Amino acid sequence: MLVGLLYLFLFQLFGHATVVLLGLPIPSPVMGLVYLFGFLLIKGHIPEPLQQVASVLLPLLPLFLIPASAGIVEHGELLKDDALAIALAILVSLIVSILVTPYLFMFFARLFRKTL
């Protein structure tokens, strides 16, 4: 279990270091997840320690959204000014996600079918 957490913390650290050193305008955790995704693609399977940690953390995922929800409630006045732009961005991203997801699924299904 600790080894799996170490995986997650190291990829988070690599993502943070990359964002800080290169001055990238993306969140450090996102960069860390990109590195983790690349690692898993190269490895070809999920290491057992990482699988164990994921099975423990995944049911707790809704708890990680509570701070973001509290921030929305706390800064509601700021969001009110840009409500139309935010709603439009959410709607466009939802539509793009719905349209792109099936193609990504088919791509990765074919990719992993060839490697098996």
pLDDT at 47: 94
What average pLDDT does range 62-84 have in this prediction?
Answer: 77
Could you give the CA distance from residue 33 to residue 14 in angstroms, rounded to a whole number? 10
- Report which residue type is found at 7: Y
User: pTM (2 decimals)?
Assistant: 0.61
Q: Which of 2-6, 37-41, 80-84, 104-108 has the lowest mean pLDDT?
A: 80-84
Token pair, residue 52, equals 């164990």
Could you give the CA distance from residue 83 to residue 69 in angstroms, rounded to a whole number? 16
Q: Which residues neighbour 33 within 8 Å (Cβ) at sequence distance 6 or greater?
A: 11, 15
